[in-house]
C-alpha cells in the first residue's frame, strides 16, 4: 500500500523558551504545542499579542530553533533549508528593499528560488497582475503605499510557486479596501489548492477565509478545529427570510410558541458589517464620481 | 508537458549550494549601496587630490609628485576602509531591523550563502570605488607630470635639445605615473577587503549598526598598532616563550595586522615592492576572509532571528 502524503504542516510538542540576557529568568513563548494542517487547507492561527503565534511561525520557517519538539513542512524537517523550497512567507509589517522597483523585487526573490530568467519574467507578469500592481511595476518600493507593500509582499511570497504560504498579520495597517483585496487573494490561493497559514487580529477576516482555526494563548493551543464546528451554537437555529410580511412573521412566532421549550430569541432586520457598509459606500462614491465626469 | 509549461514549471529540487543565489544577493547588495548614493564621495576625493595639486605648486617637482601620490593613496585607503566598515555594518543589522532578512532566509537560501553574498557585494563595491578613485588619481598624475615637463622646458634659459628633453622626461616621469602604483592600488583593496570581513563578523552578533561600526573601528585601529605593541612587549634579541608565541599568534588572527598592507608609503618614496610581498598580502587576505567568513557563519547559523 502506498504511503499517505505527509501533511502540509506538522508541529509536535513544540516548546520554545527564551533566556533573557544577563538574567536568570526564562520566558516560555510556546508550550508543548501540536497542530497539523492538511494540504490545501486555510488555517487561521489567532491569539492576543505575545501569545506565541509569531514564534510558532518562526520555528516552522527555520528562523529560530525549538527548545523541544519539532516541526515539518510536507514531511521535511523545518530546520532543513530544503523545506523552504515549498514555502512562501509574508512577515508582519515587512520592509522590502525600497530602492528596488516592483519587478526588480520579484526578480531578486525569484533568483533566490532558483528560477531562470525566462521563468522570472513570466512569473513576475502573472503575479503583478494577480496582486494588481502591473501599473506600478517600475516604481521603486519607497513610493508604495502600505497596501501596495503588502501586496508586493504577497507576490514575493508566491514567486517560487509555493505549496504552503504563511501570512503573518497580512492586513496590519492596511485600509479596509486593501484588506479586502488581500482577503480575496487568500481565497484565490485556496481555490488554487495552496495551503495557507494565516495569523491575524481581524477575527472577521479569519472567519471569512479559514477552514480550520487554532486559538493560541500563553503559548498553548487552547482551542482547535473546523471553523464551522467551533462557531456553531448547537442549540440554536437560524432562518433568514427575504420580503417576509409582518403577518408571516406573526404566524411563524405562533408556530414556535406551540412547541414546548422552543422560543424565538430575535426577530428583525439582520445587520451588515461596518466593513461591508464602508466598501459599499466607497464603491458607490467612485461610480458616482465616474458619472459626474 | 508542452514547451511553455516546461519553461514555467519550477523545479523543487533544492541545491545545497548555489553560486547563482550568492551572486543574486551580491548584486542586490551592490545595488543597495550604489543607490544609497555612496559614490558622492568621489566629489570629496576629487576635491582632495585637486586641492593637493594646487596647494603644493611652490615645492620642487619631486616633492610635488610625492605629495600628490601620498595624499591620493592616503585618501583612497581612508575612503576604502570607511566604505568597508560602514557599508558592511549597514547591511545585516538593517536587514534584521527591517525584517527583510526573514523574506530572504525563508526562501531556500542557506545562511552561509546570505553571508557570502553580502561580503561579495561589498567587495564588488570596494573594487568599483577603488577603480574609480585610481582612474581619477592616475589622470591627475598624468596631467601634472606633463605640466611639470612643459614648465621645466619653458623655464630653461637656453634652447633645449631633444636629448635634454628626454632626460627631463625620464627624471620627471620616473617619479610620476608608473605601473608599480597598481600594486599600491591592489594593497588598498586587500586592506579594505579584510576590514569588510571584520565588520561582517562583528555584525553577525551585534545588535545595531552603530555597535558594529564602533567595534570594527576598534579592531581596525588595534590592527594598525599591533605590530608596534608586539615589538614593544617582545624586545629584540629575546627568545619568546611558547606561551608568548601562542599569545602573539592569537592576537595576529583576531586582529589582522593592517600595517602590513601599507606598502603605499614605500611606493611613493620610490621603493620597490617585491612580488613575494604582494603574494604574501594576497595570501594573508585570503586567509583572513576565509577565517572571518567561517566564524561569522558559525555565529550566524545559530542566531535566533
**For range B101-105, the mean pLDDT:** 93
Q: CB A112 to CB B24 under 8 A?
A: yes
Q: Is A169 left (phi over 0), alpha (psi -120 to 50) or beta?
A: left
| ipTM of this predicted structure | 0.82
pLDDT of residue A268: 80
Chain B CB contacts of A81 under 8 Å are 14, 16, 108-110
Residue B285 has pLDDT above 90, yes or no: yes
Give every CB contact of residue A287 below 8 A, 6+ residues apart in sequence: none
Chain B CB contacts of A87 under 8 Å are 106
The torsion defined by the Cα of A108, A114, A116 and A121, in degrees rounded to 10, comes to: -40
Angle value at C-alpha A77, between A74 and A82, nearest 5 degrees: 75
- Specify which of A213-227, B51-65, B184-198, B264-278 reaches the highest per-range mean pLDDT: B184-198
CB A66 within 8 A of CB A14: yes
Other CB atoms within 10 Å distance of the CB of residue A28: 15
What pairing do the DSSP bridges indicate for beta strands A68-73 and A76-77?
A: antiparallel
Gap from B299 CA to chain A (nearest CA, Å): 13
Closest of A158, A148, A168 to residue A102, by C-alpha: A148
Give every CB contact of residue B236 below 8 A, 6+ residues apart in sequence: none
A76 touches chain B (CB under 8 A): no
**For range B289-301, the mean pLDDT:** 94
CB B201 within 8 A of CB B92: no
CA distance readout (Å), B215 to A48, B120, B203, B205: 39, 21, 9, 11
Beta bridge partners of A15: A68
- Specify which of A7-16, A78-87, B237-246, B273-282 reaches the highest per-range mean pLDDT: A7-16
**For range A271-282, the mean pLDDT:** 64
pLDDT of residue B84: 92
Q: CB A62 to CB B18 under 8 A?
A: no
Least confident of A133-147, A260-274, B210-224: A260-274
**For range B61-81, the mean pLDDT:** 86
Residue A120 has pLDDT above 80, yes or no: yes
Gap from A202 CA to chain B (nearest CA, Å): 22
SS3 (DSSP) at B199 = helix
Domain range A9-231, CATH class:
alpha beta
Chain A CB contacts of B102 under 8 Å are 61, 63, 89, 91, 94
CB B76 within 8 A of CB B185: yes
**For range B219-230, the mean pLDDT:** 81
Residue A51 has pLDDT above 70, yes or no: yes
pLDDT of residue A290: 66
Kindly report the average pLDDT of chain A as a whole number: 86
Beta bridge partners of A10: A36, A72
Residue in B11, B21, B36 nearest the CB of A112: B21
**What is the DSSP annotation of B65-76?**
HHHHHHHHHHHH
**For range A203-212, the mean pLDDT:** 84
SS3 (DSSP) at B292 = helix
Give every CB contact of residue B184 below 8 A, 6+ residues apart in sequence: B73, B263, B264, B267, B268, B273
Q: CB A87 to CB B106 under 8 A?
A: yes
Q: CB A89 to CB B102 under 8 A?
A: yes
Give every CB contact of residue A18 below 8 A, 6+ residues apart in sequence: A26, A27, A29
Q: What would the pLDDT profile of B143-201 be if each residue is shown by its tens digit?
A: 888 888 888 888 877 777 888 888 888 888 888 888 888 999 999 999 999 999 999 99
Interaxial angle between packed helices B61-82 and B41-55, expressed in degrees from 0 to 180 and rounded to the nearest 10: 160
Q: CB A99 to CB B32 under 8 A?
A: yes
Among B108, B112, B117, B121, most A C-beta atoms within 10 A, so best to mutate, is: B108
Chain B CB contacts of A95 under 8 Å are 98-100
Which residues of B lie inside 8 Å of A (Cβ-Cβ)?
7-8, 10-12, 14-16, 18, 20-21, 24-25, 28, 31-32, 35-36, 98-100, 102-110, 302, 304-305
Gap from B198 CA to chain A (nearest CA, Å): 24
Pairwise CA distance, residues A113 & B11, whole Å: 9
CA distance readout (Å), A159 to A20, B289, B304: 37, 33, 26
Chain A CB contacts of B103 under 8 Å are 89-91, 94, 96, 109, 153, 156-157
Among B39, B106, B112, B300, most A C-beta atoms within 10 A, so best to mutate, is: B106
Beta strand spans in chain B (E): none
Pairwise CA distance, residues B242 & B143, whole Å: 55
SS3 (DSSP) at A138 = coil
Pairwise CA distance, residues B22 & A97, whole Å: 17
Q: CB A114 to CB B108 under 8 A?
A: yes
Place of cell 471569512: A208
Residue A87 has pLDDT above 90, yes or no: yes
Q: What would the pLDDT profile of A96-117 be if each residue is shown by its tens digit?
A: 898 999 999 999 999 999 999 9
Q: Is the pTM of this model over 0.90?
A: no
First to last CA, chain A: 67
pLDDT of residue B112: 94
Among A97, A155, A161, most B C-beta atoms within 10 A, so best to mutate, is: A97
Residue in B20, B25, B305 nearest the CB of A64: B305
Residue B104 has pLDDT above 70, yes or no: yes
Q: What would the pLDDT profile of B202-223 be if each residue is shown by its tens digit?
A: 999 987 889 999 999 999 998 8
Other CB atoms within 10 Å distance of the CB of residue B136: 17
Beta strand spans in A76-126 (E): 76-77, 87-90
With CA atoms as reference, the chain B residue closest to A158 would be: B107
**For range A73-84, the mean pLDDT:** 91
Containing A153, the helix (H) or strand (E) segment is helix A146-158
Residue A194 has pLDDT above 50, yes or no: yes
For residue A28, name the pLDDT band (cuts at 50, 70, 90): very high
Q: CB B25 to CB A64 under 8 A?
A: no
Angle value at C-alpha A144, between A142 and A149, nearest 5 degrees: 105
Residue B227 has pLDDT above 60, yes or no: yes
Place of cell 515549498: A86
Gap from B199 CA to chain A (nearest CA, Å): 21
Containing B285, the helix (H) or strand (E) segment is helix B275-302
Q: What would the pLDDT profile of A149-163 be if each residue is shown by its tens digit?
A: 988 999 999 999 999
Q: CB A99 to CB B35 under 8 A?
A: yes
Over pLDDT 70: what percentage of chain B? Answer: 89
CA distance readout (Å), A162 to A7, A110, A131, B11, B62: 15, 12, 16, 11, 67
CB A146 within 8 A of CB A69: no
Q: CB B21 to CB A114 under 8 A?
A: yes
Give every CB contact of residue A40 below 8 A, 6+ residues apart in sequence: A8, A190, A193, A194, A195
Q: CB A111 to CB B20 under 8 A?
A: yes
pLDDT of residue B8: 46
CB contacts under 8 A, A 234-253 vs B, are: none
CB A175 within 8 A of CB A130: no
Q: What would the pLDDT profile of B3-52 be if each residue is shown by its tens digit?
A: 544 444 555 567 778 899 999 999 999 998 888 777 677 778 777 777 77
Domain edges within chain A = 9-231, 246-292
Pairwise CA distance, residues B50 & B67, whole Å: 12
- Specify which of A273-277, B29-33, B246-250 reaches the highest per-range mean pLDDT: B29-33
Gap from B38 CA to chain A (nearest CA, Å): 14
For residue B292, name the pLDDT band (cuts at 50, 70, 90): very high
Other CB atoms within 10 Å distance of the CB of residue B20: 13
CB A108 within 8 A of CB A100: yes
Amino acid at each position: 500500500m502506498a504511503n499517505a502524503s505527509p501533511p502540509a504542516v506538522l508541529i509536535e510538542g513544540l516548546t520554545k523558551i527564551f533566556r533573557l540576557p544577563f538574567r536568570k529568568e526564562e520566558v516560555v513563548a510556546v508550550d508543548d504545542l501540536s497542530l497539523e494542517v492538511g494540504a490545501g487547507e486555510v488555517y487561521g492561527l489567532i491569539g492576543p499579542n505575545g501569545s506565541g503565534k509569531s514564534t510558532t511561525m518562526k520555528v516552522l520557517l527555520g528562523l529560530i530553533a525549538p527548545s523541544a519538539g519539532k516541526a515539518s513542512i510536507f514531511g521535511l524537517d523545518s530546520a532543513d533549508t530544503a523545506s523552504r523550497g515549498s514555502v512562501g512567507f509574508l512577515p508582519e509589517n515587512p520592509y522590502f528593499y525600497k530602492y528596488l522597483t516592483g519587478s526588480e523585487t520579484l526578480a531578486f526573490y525569484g533568483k533566490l528560488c532558483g528560477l531562470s530568467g525566462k521563468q522570472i519574467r513570466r512569473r513576475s507578469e502573472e503575479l503583478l497582475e494577480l496582486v494588481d500592481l502591473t501599473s506600478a511595476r517600475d516604481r521603486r518600493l519607497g513610493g508604495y503605499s502600505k497596501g501596495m507593500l503588502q501586496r508586493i509582499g504577497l507576490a514575493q511570497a508566491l514567486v517560487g510557486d509555493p505549496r504552503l504560504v504563511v501570512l503573518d498579520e497580512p492586513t496590519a495597517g492596511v485600509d479596509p479596501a486593501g484588506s479586502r483585496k488581500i482577503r480575496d487573494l487568500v481565497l484565490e490561493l485556496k481555490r488554487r489548492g495552496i495551503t495557507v497559514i494565516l495569523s491575524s487580529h481581524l477575527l472577521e477576516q479569519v472567519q471569512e477565509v479559514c477552514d480550520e482555526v487554532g486559538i493560541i494563548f500563553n503559548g498553548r493551543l487552547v482551542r482547535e478545529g473546523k471553523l464551522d464546528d467551533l462557531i456553531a451554537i448547537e442549540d440554536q437555529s437560524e432562518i433568514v427570510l427575504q420580503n417576509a410580511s409582518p403577518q408571516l412573521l406573526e404566524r411563524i412566532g405562533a408556530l414556535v410558541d406551540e412547541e414546548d421549550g422552543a422560543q424565538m430569541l430575535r426577530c428583525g432586520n439582520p445587520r451588515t458589517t461596518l466593513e461591508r457598509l464602508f466598501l459599499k459606500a466607497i464603491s458607490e462614491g467612485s461610480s458616482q464620481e465616474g458619472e459626474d465626469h | 508537458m508542452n514547451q511553455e509549461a516546461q519553461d514555467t514549471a519550477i523545479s523543487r529540487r533544492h541545491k545545497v549550494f548555489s553560486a547563482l543565489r550568492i551572486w543574486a544577493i551580491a548584486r542586490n547588495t551592490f545595488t543597495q549601496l550604489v543607490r544609497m548614493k555612496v559614490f558622492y564621495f568621489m566629489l570629496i576625493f576629487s576635491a582632495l587630490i585637486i586641492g593637493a595639486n594646487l596647494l603644493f605648486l611652490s615645492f620642487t617637482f619631486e616633492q610635488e609628485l610625492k605629495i600628490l601620490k601620498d595624499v591620493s593613496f592616503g585618501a583612497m585607503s581612508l575612503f576604502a576602509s570607511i566604505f568597508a566598515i560602514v557599508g558592511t555594518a549597514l547591511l545585516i543589522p538593517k536587514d534584521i531591523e527591517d525584517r527583510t532578512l526573514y523574506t530572504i532566509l525563508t526562501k531556500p537560501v542557506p545562511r552561509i550563502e546570505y553571508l557570502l553574498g553580502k561580503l561579495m557585494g561589498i567587495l564588488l563595491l570596494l573594487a568599483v570605488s577603488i577603480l574609480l578613485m585610481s582612474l581619477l588619481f592616475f589622470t591627475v598624475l598624468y596631467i601634472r607630470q606633463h605640466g611639470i615637463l612643459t614648465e621645466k622646458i619653458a623655464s630653461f634659459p637656453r634652447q633645449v635639445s631633444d636629448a635634454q628633453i628626454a632626460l627631463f622626461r625620464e627624471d620627471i616621469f620616473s617619479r610620476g605615473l608608473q605601473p608599480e602604483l597598481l600594486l599600491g592600488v591592489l594593497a588598498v583593496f586587500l586592506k579594505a577587503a579584510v576590514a569588510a570581513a571584520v565588520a561582517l563578523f562583528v555584525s553577525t552578533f551585534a545588535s545595531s549598526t552603530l555597535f558594529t561600526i564602533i567595534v570594527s573601528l576598534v579592531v581596525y585601529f588595534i590592527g594598525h598598532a599591533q605590530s608596534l605593541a608586539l615589538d614593544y612587549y617582545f624586545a629584540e634579541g629575546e627568545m619568546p616563550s611558547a606561551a608568548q608565541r601562542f599569545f602573539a599568534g592569537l592576537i595576529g588572527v583576531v586582529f589582522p595586522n593592517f600595517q602590513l598592507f601599507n606598502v603605499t608609503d614605500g611606493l611613493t618614496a620610490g621603493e620597490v615592492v617585491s612580488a613575494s610581498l604582494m603574494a604574501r598580502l594576497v595570501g594573508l587576505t585570503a586567509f583572513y576572509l576565509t577565517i572571518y567568513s567561517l566564524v561569522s557563519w558559525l555565529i550566524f547559523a545559530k542566531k535566533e532571528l
